[in-house]
Structure 1
Amino acid sequence: MKVKNRLSLQFTFMFAILLLVVLTGIYVFVEHNRVKSFITKLDERAVIVAQFYLAEDNLSKDTFRKVSQKFPQSLSSESIRIYDDKFQPKFIPEGSVGWKRSFLSQVVKRKILHARQGEMQITGIYYPDNSGNFIIVVSAIDERGLQDMEQLRLIISVFFITSLFITFFIGRVFANISIFPIVKITDNLKRIRASSLHHRLPINISKTDEIDNLSSTINQLLEHLEQSFENQKSFVANASHELRTPITSILGEAEITLVKERSPAEYKHTLEEIVSSVERLNYIIDSLMELMQTNLDNKDFQLIRVDELIWEIVDELAFRTHVENIKVAYDFTIEQSRITLLGNRQLLFIAISNILKNAVKFSEDKEVYCTVSNNNSHVIITIKDSGIGIAESDLNKIFQPFYRSSNAMGFPGYGIGLSLTNNVVRLHNGSINIKSELGQGTVFQLYLPLS
């Protein structure tokens, strides 16, 4: 069953329950008032019968005339019986309608008694008079009221069924309106293929609701998929090229050496060249493995103190490279102990240390400044150097695997570090902002969402 039909039926079912309760309540209320009103009429009728037969000598002429005028106005299927205190019928013969002594005893005991037999309503009153004590029993059927109730039942039934049909179609309209954003998202997703993963779902920035949250979540998924596809293509395209160079060098050195007998010194030199090429090959493989690791669905996330992570990275760089020119500063607007990230500690360590390594390398022993600050939603890691800078034409290419700027060719490296850093930051739903001028240095700003 389609969602819009299911929503329409659910909406109709809930409305049907509510409408049934309301209509039933109305019917019960009207029926209660009908019965109460008819019982009141029976009580009045019983008093009029008593006054007409028994109280002529106790009433004024005008009052008795009014009673005499009302007496002929009988009720539907009316039956009147009068009994003395010995339960003997008076004035009116019992005929086919009579009342048991037990019922008459209850009337004497309670003074007024209401009963019901099928559709017939019964009122019995105990009427003391100067000529004796009497029991007046009046029974009748509220035919007009029952007809009105039958019509009310018919009206309620027709109204209930009609309302359900109308509600179902109104529900379909609202269901179509409600799921239209989802249908729109589905249509947009159908147009996205492996070759067009750069497309994103539109999001209304002026308001944020569940549909916008869904679109944002899907966009994040597409971001990760695009990242994974891009890196897989880069891995296949670039790995073969980068791995071929050291392998070719190793084979060339070995083949040339084996052409003829060599001196021990020449063999030693050849082996040193092979070792150097193997080390380079090993470094490239390790870097490619780290690059591919950032494309995996890595769920090894934990809470990370940013200040502790930065100090670990700086200490590690100082220990391995003997560099002491990295200056760290903190500028937090909230309590420092609350500056935490939810992420993969190893990958974040690699990503931030890559930028710091580049800053140290391209600054050529000049000081590097690392500032950690925050806004309401992100921690901001700013790394500033005074190195060679990056040309404006290269800024949109530096995150491509194995890409190196023309002015960086004189420095060691393979162009993998920044690509890996970019993947890690995107994996943590963050972003990187770069400002650079040739010969003036570079400023990297990493925006990572707070936990």
Structure 2
Amino acid sequence: MQIQNKLTLMFTAIAGGLLLLFSIAIYITYAENREEEFFKQVRIQALTKANILLDAKVEPEVIQTIYLNTRNAMFQEEIAIYDTAFNLLYHDAIHIDIVKETPEMIQEIREKGEIRFFEDKWHVIGFSYFHEGEEYVITAAARDVYGIQSLQNLGYALTVAFFAVIILIFFGGRFFARQALKPVSELVDNVEEITATNLDLRVKEGNGKDEIAELAITFNRMLERLDSAFEQQKNVVSNIAHEIRNPLAAMIAELELAESRERKSEEYRQAIAFALNDAKNLSKLVSGLLDMAKADYDETEITFKSDRIDEVLMDAIAELRKNHSDFLVDITIDESVEDESQMMVKGNAYLLKTAFINLMDNACKFSNDKRCEVEISANEHYCSIAFIDNGPGIVKDDLPNVFSTFYRGKTVQKNNGYGIGLSLVKKIIDLHKGNITVHSEKGKGSVFTVELRVG
């Protein structure tokens, strides 16, 4: 069911429920007041006849004649007067006798002072009446024809008004719900116009103040992230294709050249060596891309456990020297590390080792003496690892982009690389809720500092 219909039905149901309760309250209150007023009128009529009989000493036959000639068709009252011995002193119409008094009823009236009940459609009241020291019992029955008719008319009026108001509330609520949700419909129309080819479009943000505007603003922010992600994805795919094509083209060229004519064994060996070097570069690129894919995993899918950071570094150095035996790495532990527990970090050893290998590989590759200095310091909250080289440094314009995928600075164009390493390192450190910073000056080397939470 659409929200518009839900809101309309809910609004109608709530308003209708309140209106129904209000109508019932009016009907019941009117019915009770009408009943009370009618009993009072019947009592007054009965007292009037008792006074005529007992005070004015008018004969019962005369009162009956008056009653028959002036009987109120709306009341149709019937009044009887008894003494305490159950002797009938007066009766308006004994042949009708609606109340059918009994000695037990007379006694009950004397004990309670007054009783009220209904006999079919007749209102019946009985009460004690004292006159000149004598007690009398008066009963009176009457039909509230006018009151019943008025009550029925009120019921009809309330019923008609109830359904009329419900209809007005329904259509009024539907109109206001449609007006309130109109921005949502416009938002849906805007969204349907946006496809993968025009992610630069944005939805209208309305007045910028209400909840719909907040939704539109949030959606636009999401579109910006999607647009950025799609653009980045296109760039990454383009760069990957370009970077893979270069070593493949070099390999193909070397092999085609070797195949074009007979050559000496030394020339074949040289061609194979070139092709092998290109294949290794391609393998390194693919490995870097796979590591980046792992670093992009959801944090919940990666196993984290506590490891000593110096042991992870030693494993990384061993792995680095397998491929580069000429690289030198020196580790220094600062005096601030007072306890081994300060070098315990919670993380994924494989990913951290991958990050450290990339940092040390860069440092050794760009240092004049192929040496990397690693300094470990710590406090009770963080363990800090600094990777220091004495290379050419990074120019100021390149610093903001050193962690961008496939970005290569101006001072490193002569070195082999694909611009993946530092981007991969940044993703791994972010995955570990850590922080990485770089400080570098041209001609003075660079310092990459990694901070990881102790745990």
TM-score normalized by the length of structure 1: 0.67
**What corresponds to 1:79 in structure 2?**
78
Q: Alpha-carbon deviation of 1:217?
A: 6.6
Q: Which moved more, 1:91-100 or 1:348-357?
A: 348-357
Please state whether the residue corresponding to 2:8 is helix, strand or coil.
Answer: helix
In structure 2, the CA distance between the partners of 1:262 and 1:363, relative to structure 1 (3 Å rule), is closer
* Distance of aligned partners of 1:123 and 1:199 in 2 relative to their CA distance in 1, 3 Å threshold: same
2:375 touches 2:387 (CA, 8 Å); kept in 1? yes
Q: SS at the partner of 1:194?
A: coil
Render the CA deviation track for 1:304-343: whole Å, top value 9, x for unaligned: 79x979888766655545645799999xxxxx9xx99xxx
1:343-379 superposed Cα distances (whole Å, 9 cap, x missing partner) = x969985996598558746874687899999xxxxx9
Asked if the contact 1:126–1:136 (Cα under 8 Å) also holds between the matched residues in 2, the reply is yes
Any conservation in 2 of the 1:354–1:418 contact (CA below 8 Å)?
Answer: no
- 1:2-56 Cα deviation digits (max 9, x unpaired): 4323322221122111221222123212222222232233334434433332355
Any conservation in 2 of the 1:384–1:441 contact (CA below 8 Å)? Answer: no
1:206/1:222 Cα in 2 relative to 1: closer, same or farther (>3 Å)?
closer
Q: Which residue of 1 aligns with 2:411?
A: 407
1:250 corresponds to = 251
What's the CA shift for 1:123?
0.6
State the match for 1:333 in structure 2: none
SS of aligned partner of 1:192 = coil
Residue 6 of structure 1 aligns with which residue?
6
Q: 1:283 to 1:149 in 2, by over 3 A?
A: same
- Helix, strand or coil: the match of 1:412? coil
Query: Could you say which residue in structure 2 is the equivalent of 1:38?
Result: 38
Equivalent runs, 1:380-399 vs 2, <5 Å: none
Structure 2 residue matching 1:196: 3-state secondary structure? coil
Q: Is 1:113 matched with 2:112?
A: no
Q: Is the 8 A contact 2:403 2:423 kept in 1?
A: yes
Larger Rg, first or second structure (1 or 2): 2
- Map residues 42-191 of structure 1 onto 2, 5 A cutoff: 42-54=42-54, 76-85=75-84, 87=86, 89-99=88-98, 101=100, 105-111=104-110, 112-127=114-129, 134-191=136-193
- Residue of 173, 191, 194 corresponding to 1:192: 194
Q: CA separation of 1:185/1:397 partners in 2, compared to 1, >3 Å: closer, same or farther?
A: farther
C-alpha deviation, 1:285, in angstroms:
1.8
Structure 1: unaligned runs, 5 residues or longer: 58-71, 331-335, 374-378
2:300 alignment partner, SS class: coil
Does the aligned pair in 2 maintain the 1:204–1:212 contact within 8 Å? no
In structure 1, what is the Cα distance between the partners aligned to 2:211 and 2:355? 34
Contact 2:42 2:140 in 1 (8 A): yes
Letter in 2 for 1:279: K
Cα distance in 2 for residues equivalent to 1:179 and 1:328:
63
How far 1:234 moved relative to its partner?
A: 3.5
Q: Aligned partners of 2:194 and 2:216: how far apart in 1?
A: 16
The separation in 2 between residues aligned to 1:251 and 1:173, in whole angstroms, is 72
Distance in 2 separating the partners of 1:215 and 1:432: 32
Deviations, residues 357-409 of structure 1 (Å, cap 9, x unaligned)? 58746874687899999xxxxx9x99998875656766787676534233221
Compute the RMSD of aligned alpha carbons.
Answer: 5.3
Partners of 1:368 and 1:385 within 8 A in 2 = yes
Q: CA deviation at 1:77?
A: 2.5
Offset of 1:98 from its aligned partner? 0.5
* Structure 2: distance between partners of 1:158 and 1:146: 18
The TM-score with structure 2 as length reference comes to 0.67
Rounded to whole Å, the distance in 2 between the matches of 1:187 and 1:447 is: 47
Q: Deviations over 1:137-161 (max 9, x none)?
A: 2122334433443443344334423
Give the direction of change, closer, same or farther, for the CA distance of 1:318–1:56 in structure 2 (3 Å limit): farther
Paired residues of 1:192 and 1:199 also in contact (CA < 8 A): yes
Q: 1:435 to 1:51 in 2, by over 3 A?
A: farther
Secondary structure of the structure 1 residue equivalent to 2:123: strand
1:310 to 1:200, Cα distance in 2 relative to 1, 3 A: farther
Take 1:173 and 1:217, find their aligned partners in 2: how far apart are those partners? 27
Residue 120 of structure 1 contacts residue 140 of structure 1 at CA under 8 Å; is this kept in 2? yes
CA contact (8 A) 1:82 1:91 kept: yes
Count of residue pairs brought into register by the alignment: 414
Structure 2: distance between partners of 1:303 and 1:31: 76
